[in-house]
Structure formats: structure tokens, C-alpha cells
Amino acid sequence: MDPLKLISVLPLQQNWTPPTLPERNCEFNEIIRYATMPIPRNIFVSGPRGIGKTVTAKRVCEEYKARFPSRSVFYIQMYRGLSETWDKFYMEKPKCKRNASTFKQGIGDHVLIVLDDVDCLYRKNDLNYLLHDLFNLDRQLCVILISTQSLYTYERTVFTDAVKSRCQFMPFAFRPYNVNEIASILQMRLNLAVEGSVSQDALKFISEKVYRHGSDMRLGLRILANAVNLAVQSSQPLTLTIAEQAWRQEKQSYWRQEYMELPPHMALLLFSVCVLLQKGEKVTSGAAYKMYNELCRYHTVKPLSTRQLSAYLSILEQKGFLSTSQSMSNLGKTTTITSDLPLEILVEAGRTLDWQTILK
């Protein structure tokens, strides 16, 4: 097998937009169709992280600009607050707030605006203010919102009646990639980035790891980039052994970062599970809830209900932190919890947090 030779590092980066989206082509075509109608439709794109929402929206922006060169296109990455968002968007005018005249004057008559990661906004009402301002501009707008939460959630808990009646978003729910789609995306990136031999076993290994952890292509690209670097540095083909080594390097930093971004009570529940698993015990949902409640009492905070904890447990499984299995006994149904993550990393991260502060 020929050793690997790096041609370009760009296709291995997360923020790189590929020329085609073979696994999101259907969604891309539908979104661009609604965005370019004579009276454009507003669009709400939802789905888990890392499944192609942002890259599809960026391709839509590129295609829209190619079709209508005279029109304005804005891609805006949302942050915790609107002032921080404008600070990032207007680097030359760092104190622009919402309703800023520079934004109003520069957007033109026909505008495509993409607001990415809207669930990052700390105050959900900020989104109402922003949409209200945008639709008072007397412009022909197409707004695309991107979120990990569904449109139903926003209509039920965030949007005011005025926003719902004026915007009328078209929902697009992106499903997670399957194993074959993940392998296809990774193969396309490899073809553009390297020359040389890549073991199909290595590609399958990475694809299965990504699928196991929620089809998060951010994780897949990081593992792939690590594997390519290891293969290039050692002047070897990209083999299964190198892919396994890349995964071992990646999973520690990746899962610590993912853990630190969890909501406080969800993080405390996962901390409880990891502490019990680290002791080598068989961990059930009941044991995890018991330890979680004990930690809440220790930190003098009100614990969540068992129903809420059960929902959190399902979310943690969807995110790839753990796995659950059910069995029946004389005592009823038992939920057993396991995890293949580096427990010591998560437990260490949990012990560095000031739980009493963040839980309140």
C-alpha cells in the first residue's frame, strides 16, 4: 500500500464548505427553491449538531449569491447575547447593537439572512426582538434560522404571536446520517485532501464511531484529520491501526469539551453515572438518580424530578455519552447504564466545576 501524501488540509477542516453536498442534496434543493421563490418563504432548519445544517446553509448562501449577484446575503453566527453577535459581525464597529443603522442601510431590497445557532442566545426574547426589527425594515426578506431544537419548541415557548404571524417559518428537520452516508462524506473529503492508500477498514471504523456518537461529523472530521496527520508523519498508509490511534487521541479532548457544554443538572447526572461506573459497579438508573439527589442535597440545590432525569438520561444517550438497556425482573423493569468513554476524563472535569454556583 502506498504511503499517504497530504495535498490540502482544507477539506479536513470543519469550517470548509465542500463544492457539493451529496448526502444533503435533497434538503439543499428544497431550501434554495423556497428561498428563491418570487415571494420567498422563511425557513427553520432543526436537527442535532454535526449533521450538516450549517454547511448546507452556507452552500445555500453561495448558490443564492451566484443566482442573484445584486442581492445581499448575510450569514450570522449567533452568540450568547445580541451585542456580542453584532461585535463579531461588525468587527470594525465593535459596539453595534440590535436595530443598528449600519445593518439597516446595508442590506438592500432583496435579502437572504441566515441566523445560525439561534439556541445559543441566552435570552430567548432577543430572537423576537431581532426578527421584529428585521421584518420592520420594509424589505423583501428570506430568513433562515438554524437550531438544534424544533420549530414546534420555538413556537410554543419562544416566538410571540406577532413573530409567528409575520414570519411563518417552513420547518426542515434534518435527520442524522447513517453509517454509509458518513463513510461517503469522509471518502469525499479524503479524495480532495490526500493521495495514497486508505484502508476501508479504517474508514468503516471511523464511520461507526461517528454513528455511535450521534452522527456528529465534527467528531468524524477531527478523527479523520488526526488519522491523516499520523499517517503522513509516519509515511504510512491510513490503516485501521492508525484510525484507532487517532480515536484514542481525540476522544479525551472531545468528550471533555462536550461534557462542559451540557446543562448543569444534566452534567451532574452524567457525573453521578461516571463516578458509579468508575467504581466498577453495575449502574442502574435508580442508583444514578439516588447519587444525583445526594449531590443536590450536598450542594443545597433543589433536584429535578425523576421524570425530568429520565428525559435527561435519554438525551445523554442520544448525545453518545452512555448506553442504556432494559431488562425485566420480579421487581419490574430495570434500566442498566454503560459507557465506553474515558470515565476518568469526565469525572476529573466534573470535580473542577463549582456545582453550587452553576446549579443555582
Beta carbons within 10 angstroms of residue 256's beta carbon: 17
One-letter amino acid identity for 32? I
Tell me, what's the pLDDT at 140? 82
Last residue of a domain, one of 142, 173, 204: 173
Asked if the structure places residue 304 within a domain, the reply is yes
The answer, yes or no, to whether residue 102 has pLDDT greater than 60, is no
* 3-class secondary structure, 117: coil
Task: Examine the domain organization and report whether 274 and 311 are in the same domain.
Answer: yes
Over residues 146-170, mean pLDDT: 89
Task: Examine the domain organization and report whether 136 and 40 are in the same domain.
Answer: yes
Which triple of cell numbers denotes residue 241? 491501526
Least confident of 38-42, 217-221, 299-303, 332-336: 332-336
Last residue of a domain, one of 226, 259, 292: 259
Identify which of 74-83, 129-138, 281-290 has the greatest average pLDDT: 281-290
CA distance 133 to 97: 12
Report the CATH number that the domain containing residue 195 is assigned in CATH.
1.10.8.60
Asked if the structure places residue 142 within a domain, the reply is yes
**What is the gyration radius of the CA atoms in the chain, in angstroms?**
23
Tell me, what's the pLDDT at 343? 86
List the beta strands (DSSP E) in 307-360.
323-329, 332-338
Q: What angle do CA 154, 172, 51 make, to 5 degrees?
A: 100
Identify which of 56-70, 157-171, 319-333, 342-356 has the greatest average pLDDT: 56-70
Going by pLDDT thresholds of 50, 70 and 90, the confidence category of residue 108 is low
Tell me, what's the pLDDT at 90? 60
Going by pLDDT thresholds of 50, 70 and 90, the confidence category of residue 119 is confident
Which triple of cell numbers denotes residue 143? 430568513
Asked if the structure places residue 214 within a domain, the reply is yes
Task: Examine the domain organization and report whether 288 and 242 are in the same domain.
Answer: no
Q: What is the pTM of this model?
A: 0.74
Over residues 191-219, mean pLDDT: 90
* Owner of C-alpha cell 448543569: 264
Tell me, what's the pLDDT at 205? 95
Task: Examine the domain organization and report whether 200 and 274 are in the same domain.
Answer: no
Tell me, what's the pLDDT at 107? 60
Task: Examine the domain organization and report whether 250 and 166 are in the same domain.
Answer: no
Task: Examine the domain organization and report whether 145 and 53 are in the same domain.
Answer: yes
Asked if the structure places residue 347 within a domain, the reply is yes
Task: Examine the domain organization and report whether 51 and 150 are in the same domain.
Answer: yes
Report the CATH number that the domain containing residue 302 is assigned in CATH.
1.10.10.10
CA distance 135 to 170: 16
Q: Give the chain's end-to-end CA distance (angstroms, integer).
A: 57
The answer, yes or no, to whether residue 135 has pLDDT greater than 70, is yes
Between 357 and 329, the more confident residue is 357
Last residue of a domain, one of 157, 173, 189: 173
Going by pLDDT thresholds of 50, 70 and 90, the confidence category of residue 66 is very high
Tell me, what's the pLDDT at 136? 73
| Residues constituting the chain | 360
Asked if the structure places residue 198 within a domain, the reply is yes
Q: Are strands 194-195 and 5-6 parallel, antiparallel or unpaired?
A: antiparallel
Burial of 101 (0-12, 13-18, 19+ CB in 10 A): exposed
Tell me, what's the pLDDT at 178? 94
Domain count along the chain: 3
Asked if the structure places residue 6 within a domain, the reply is no
Going by pLDDT thresholds of 50, 70 and 90, the confidence category of residue 188 is very high
Q: Average per-residue pLDDT in the chain?
A: 86
Task: Examine the domain organization and report whether 185 and 149 are in the same domain.
Answer: no
Task: Examine the domain organization and report whether 155 and 75 are in the same domain.
Answer: yes
Residue 108's region, left for phi above 0, alpha for psi from -120 to 50, else beta, is left
Task: Examine the domain organization and report whether 29 and 105 are in the same domain.
Answer: yes
CA distance 172 to 166: 18
The answer, yes or no, to whether residue 1 has pLDDT greater than 70, is no
The answer, yes or no, to whether residue 95 has pLDDT greater than 60, is no
Q: Which domain holds residue 184?
A: 177-259
Tell me, what's the pLDDT at 100? 45
Q: What angle do CA 291, 293, 296 make, to 5 degrees?
A: 110
Q: What angle do CA 257, 259, 218 make, to 5 degrees?
A: 50
Task: Examine the domain organization and report whether 223 and 323 are in the same domain.
Answer: no
Task: Examine the domain organization and report whether 112 and 31 are in the same domain.
Answer: yes
The answer, yes or no, to whether residue 124 has pLDDT greater than 80, is no
Report the CATH number that the domain containing residue 121 is assigned in CATH.
3.40.50.300
The answer, yes or no, to whether residue 189 has pLDDT greater than 80, is yes
Tell me, what's the pLDDT at 104? 56
